[in-house]
Amino acid sequence: MNTLLEVSGVSVSFDGFRAINNLSFRIASAEMRAIIGPNGAGKTTFMDIVTGKTKPDEGRILWGEKSVSLLGLSEARIAREGVGRKFQKPTVFEDQTVQENLLMALKNKRGPFSVLLYRAKNDDLARVEAFAEEIGLADALMRKSGELSHGQKQWLEIGMLLAQEPRLLLVDEPAAGMTPAEREHTTNILVEAAKTRAVVVVEHDMEFVRRLDCKVTVLHEGSVLAEGSLDHVTANKDVVDVYLGR
Amino acid sequence: MQNSFLARNPSTLIFLAALALFTIVVTLLSEGLGMGFVSTSFVKTLGKTLCLGLVAISMDLVWGYAGILSLGHFAFFGLGGYMIGMWLMYERTRDVVVSSLADAPIPASAQELNDAIATQIFGVVGSAEFPLIWAFSDSLVLQLALVVLVPGLLALAFGWLAFRSRVAGVYLSILTQAMTLALSLYLFQNDSGLRGNNGLSGLQNLPGLTDVPQALVSLWFLWGSALALGLGYVLAAWVVSGKFGSVLRGIRDDEARVRFLGYSVESYKLVLFTGTACMAGIAGALYYPQAGIINPAEIAPIASIYLAVWVAIGGRGRIYGAVIGAVFVSLLSSWFTGGRAPNIDLGFYTIQWVDWWLVVLGLSFVLVTLFAPKGIGGLFDLISSRIMPDRHGADLGPDDGALREREARE
């Protein structure tokens, strides 16, 4: 198994509170993984650490075939390395059209000067349209994304994530606020993406996790409590105690 | 997106046409070339106002588009003025000194000439030597380069330090105020090399062109300022129309999100801050020859705050809004403070506008911020929606989640 991301022995504390405690985690370059855990288990902090928002106190984070350390890199640099993140609350640029949002996310050079001279070519516009098609916003390309409904913003953000063409997708509660049909669509998109890249889904909804049909990591108090198939972890007594039993 | 730049930005064309029309009308009515209805000093005021419009564009780019409330852009404006002022003052003094030494029985040596110029310029601060920073003052080309380079390098150094440490919001505003204050305090010193609080004067006289009447010179500068404003406008509109503009507005609305898309927010801010500083420097270099004098008081912290007020009143985030705000407020301001506005006698108290204008300005700033955040520029939205009503994309029902137009059509 070729590892894309390897997190080992990572700890971080905020004002003495150990949010992440000697956490180790690894994911292959084409794998789907669900992370579950009660509130405060450190799921979001884990994402913050991988994306460079939070610097861990100790531990290693290695990335890619060459095992580059992500520790000293800025958020933007890590994103350019191929880590894409979707936030729990949809954060799209509301003042701009769906097309502008997608164009900004589209994989292209990110430096200020190349962006300054960048003009969207038909090729790029076609790619944007294809992504918009996939997320059901093809008719809304010229609409300001602030006008979209909550569900549509979720979609737009998923579309932006795909347009970045990341090698690792970190997805925080993708199905929150979606209708059953939309959940199904989201599942399909994520499963499809996991064929070629690594996808980490943080989710509360067990039904959704079951449908993803993948390995599950249970976090508790900042470290891994159990790992395995959903049936395996739900049969684990510790897991039942801290999470499912509540 | 496939349309041409001008088709996507009709306001640019309208603005350029209005600017050209304004310049032609002022020229025709001027004393220099036209019918003489507009006095030379008013032509200068108008020319200066155009320069203020240009610096307002640079402010709008940093604040209105990228959300960086810089309260120090007048420092760059002033530095641009100082740089061109050094050449103007040096050359003109040289002309005067050369003609006065021409009658001497023995021709003056280069050293004597240099000393005489230095005494002439720096006598007022008790010095008779050229400071190091005047090294290039005899070269117009180099000083013109410095007009862009000095503000640009200062902005680059300041921005690199501030943005790299992720200073943002009100802390950045305070830092920029500190920068402009520090610079003005430094320049107030006699040994700063720029004549302390005397500043540089006589800048309205162009070296070698002393027989050209000021009426004509004022028109040249009006044209130059209009050209610079027009070019600056087109450049700014071009910069914000593409993906760069998208990223800037993204930074303004959600900086962290832009970072997670892989854009290095700090470099964008730095490029923008430095670029707009250069733009402000050019505006200053055109402004001060029309003002005739520059001194450190010009870059006092309050000047940069005025700049923010102009942009806020004119309308942030739209380039013509910034220009309109700068033109409108600064002309109104000079009307009120120039003693031309009639005082209002209330019987028990006489409102003297010279004193009360600042209160009015401050009040209107507060009112605009609270009740009309789009500023004067927002009026154009009303007009354009009258002409071309755009009612698409609105909710059809009163509730959240009611059918939207597209759904209803299906």
- Asked if B250 lies within 8 A of A96 by C-beta distance, the reply is yes
Provide mean pLDDT across the span B381-409: 55
Instruction: Identify the band that residue B320 occupies on the pLDDT scale cut at 50, 70 and 90.
Output: very high
Provide mean pLDDT across the span A85-95: 87
Nearest to B12 by CA among B330, B237, B335, B212: B237
Residue type, B310: W
Helix/strand/coil for A18: strand
Residues 6 or more apart whose CB falls under 8 angstroms from that of A185 comprise A136
Q: Compare CB distances from A118 to B242, B261, B393 and report the shortest one's residue.
A: B242
B196: which 2 tokens? 């302390």
Task: State the nearest Cα–Cα gap between A28 and chain B, in angstroms.
Answer: 22
Nearest to B18 by CA among B375, B324, B366, B393: B324
B313: which 2 tokens? 């009143």
> How do residues A28-47 score in pLDDT, each as one tens digit?
999 999 998 888 888 889 99
What angle separates helix B265-291 from helix B140-164, to the nearest 10 degrees? 140
Q: Compare CB distances from A91 to B239, B254, B267 and report the shortest one's residue.
A: B254
Please report the pLDDT score of residue B395 as a whole number.
47
Strand extents, DSSP E, B230-359: 293-294, 344-345, 350-351
Residues 6 or more apart whose CB falls under 8 angstroms from that of B265 comprise A76, B163, B251, B255, B258, B259
Provide mean pLDDT across the span B240-244: 91
Boundaries of every domain in chain B? 5-319
- Burial label for B211, CB within 10 Å (0-12, 13-18, 19+), is exposed
Provide mean pLDDT across the span B236-259: 93
Residue type, A244: L
For the whole model, what pTM was predicted?
0.89
Q: Are strands A215-220 and A32-36 parallel, antiparallel or unpaired?
A: parallel
Q: Compare CB distances from B247 to A115, A120, A160 and report the shortest one's residue.
A: A115
- Asked if B246 lies within 8 A of A104 by C-beta distance, the reply is yes
CA angle centred on B391, ends B238 and B393, rounded to 5°: 80
Helix/strand/coil for B16: helix
Cβ atoms of B268 and B164 closer than 8 Å: no
Rounded to 10 degrees, the C-alpha dihedral B382/B386/B391/B394 comes to 30
Question: Which residues from B are below 8 Å from A118, CB to CB?
Answer: 242-244
Question: What are the residue ranges of helices labelled H in chain A?
Answer: 43-50, 75-81, 98-105, 112-116, 122-134, 150-163, 180-193, 206-212, 230-235, 237-239
Across chain A, mean pLDDT equals: 88
B294: which 2 tokens? 């520059």
Query: In sequence order, what are the beta bridge partners of A26?
Result: A6
- Asked if A116 lies within 8 A of B257 by C-beta distance, the reply is no
Instruction: Identify the band that residue B4 occupies on the pLDDT scale cut at 50, 70 and 90.
Output: low
DSSP-derived letter for residue B32 is T
Examine the pLDDT at B358 and tell me if it is beyond 80: yes
Tell me if chain B has a CB within 8 Å of the CB of A144: yes
CA angle centred on A37, ends A33 and A38, rounded to 5°: 160
Please report the pLDDT score of residue B1 as a whole number.
42
Question: Which residues from B are below 8 Å from A80, CB to CB?
Answer: 262
Which residue has 């933007």 as its token pair? A76
Question: Which residues from A are below 8 Å from B265, CB to CB?
Answer: 76
Examine the pLDDT at A177 and tell me if it is beyond 90: no
Given the candidates 3.10.450.50, 3.40.640.10, 3.40.50.300, 2.40.30.10, the CATH classification of the domain at A3-244 is 3.40.50.300
Nearest to A168 by CA among A79, A101, A243, A57: A79
Tell me if chain B has a CB within 8 Å of the CB of A104: yes
Q: How far is A110 from A80, CA to CA, in rounded Å?
A: 8
Q: Compare CB distances from B250 to A53, A104, A111 and report the shortest one's residue.
A: A104
Question: Which of A104, A109, A150, A156 best probes binding to B when mutated, by most B CB atoms within 10 angstroms?
Answer: A104
Distances (CA, A) of B268 to A148, B39, B148, B265: 28, 44, 19, 5
Query: In sequence order, what are the beta bridge partners of A25?
Result: A7
Cβ atoms of B328 and B376 closer than 8 Å: yes
- Asked if B244 lies within 8 A of A116 by C-beta distance, the reply is yes
Evaluated on CA atoms A97, A99, A105, A109, the torsion sign reads: negative
- Asked if A100 lies within 8 A of B246 by C-beta distance, the reply is yes
Which residue has 């070339």 as its token pair? B33
Q: How many CB atoms lie within 10 A of CB B179?
A: 22
Please report the pLDDT score of residue B410 as a whole number.
45
B41-45, B168-172, B347-351: segment of lowest average pLDDT: B347-351
Q: How far is A33 from B377, CA to CA, in rounded Å?
A: 51
- Asked if A85 lies within 8 A of B263 by C-beta distance, the reply is no
Query: In sequence order, what are the beta bridge partners of B121?
Result: none
Q: How far is A43 from A219, CA to CA, in rounded Å?
A: 7
Examine the pLDDT at B401 and tell me if it is beyond 90: no
Transcribe A92-116 into DSSP letters. --TTSBHHHHHHHHSSS--SHHHHH
Q: How many CB atoms lie within 10 A of CB A67?
A: 10
Choose between B294 and A17: higher pLDDT: B294
> How do residues A109-129 score in pLDDT, each as one tens digit?
999 999 999 888 889 999 999
Residues 173-232 of A with CB under 8 A from B: none
Task: State the nearest Cα–Cα gap between B374 and chain A, in angstroms.
Answer: 14
Please report the pLDDT score of residue B347 as a whole number.
82
Percent of chain B with pLDDT over 90: 59
- Asked if A75 lies within 8 A of B393 by C-beta distance, the reply is no
Closest residue in B to A99 (Cα–Cα): B1
Tell me if chain B has a CB within 8 Å of the CB of A142: no
Nearest to A50 by CA among A168, A196, A189, A198: A168
DSSP-derived letter for residue B176 is H
Boundaries of every domain in chain A? 3-244
Distances (CA, A) of A115 to A118, A129, B94, B264: 5, 20, 47, 12
Q: How far is B306 from B326, CA to CA, in rounded Å?
A: 9
- Burial label for B273, CB within 10 Å (0-12, 13-18, 19+), is buried
